[in-house]
Amino acid sequence: MGYTFGSGLGKHGQGMSSALKIEKKGGQAGKIIHETDEVMREVGLNPETFQGPITNILLLRNIYTLDDIPEDYDNELRPELSRYGVIKKLILHRDPDAEDFFDQVRIFVDYPNKAAAIRAYADLNNRFFNARSIRATFYPTDRFMLGHYYDPSY
């Protein structure tokens, strides 16, 4: 097995994917800069004002409707979504009974670490695909692992 560049430490790659960095504050004082904060700043997001928890699961909505899902959606999406990191799992969930039109088709992307998910979020949220604005959010890892793909609060 061993380490693969861009993947996190730990059995499932869920841990840190880069070393901690120290920001010197004067004298012998310093502040530890976490990987997610650093990546957020790199892509133009402010970690102090960002709302909600950040996970390695990215939920994409408003990419497809129930009527226009291509049979080879995986081949259409995977090359684009792989630009941000290795994709562990890509799931398309259909829910024709969802009240919100944007929730009828939900796409979940499981990245090996939060850094890859943050980069994808920053680039994809509000970007146009199929003449529609993508809505990207982070989704709770525990709910995703249990197969709960619909949560109205996300």
Domain membership flag for residue 19? no
Whether residue 53 has pLDDT greater than 80: yes
Q: Give Cα 65 to chain centroid, integer Å.
A: 21
The reply to whether 30 falls in a domain is no
Return the structure tokens found at 151.
């949560």
pLDDT exceeds 90 at position 85: yes
* Domain membership flag for residue 75: yes
Rounded Cα distance, 148 and 87, in Å = 19
Q: Is residue 117 part of a domain?
A: yes
Instruction: Return mean pLDDT, the chain.
Output: 82
The pLDDT of residue 26 is 72
> Residue 21: which pLDDT band, with cuts at 50, 70 and 90?
low
Least confident of 9-23, 26-40, 76-90: 9-23
The number of domains in the chain is: 1
In a domain, 108, yes or no: yes
pTM: 0.76
Q: Two tokens at 109?
A: 């992307």
Structure token pair of residue 1:
């097995």
Residue-wise pLDDT for 96-112, tens only, equals: 888 888 789 999 999 99
Instruction: Flag whether 43 is in a domain.
Output: no
What average pLDDT does range 115-143 have in this prediction?
A: 92
Length of the chain: 154
* Higher-scoring residue by pLDDT: 13, 111: 111
Confidence at residue 51, expressed as pLDDT on a 0 to 100 scale: 80
In a domain, 116, yes or no: yes
What pLDDT, on the 0 to 100 scale, is given for residue 128?
Answer: 92
| Partners of 138 in beta bridges | 58
Q: Is residue 33 part of a domain?
A: no
Q: Which comes out higher in pLDDT, residue 120 or 100? A: 120
Return the CATH number at 140: 3.30.70.330
**Residue numbers of the domain that contains 71:** 57-145
| pLDDT in the model for residue 46 | 77
pLDDT over 60 (residue 5): no
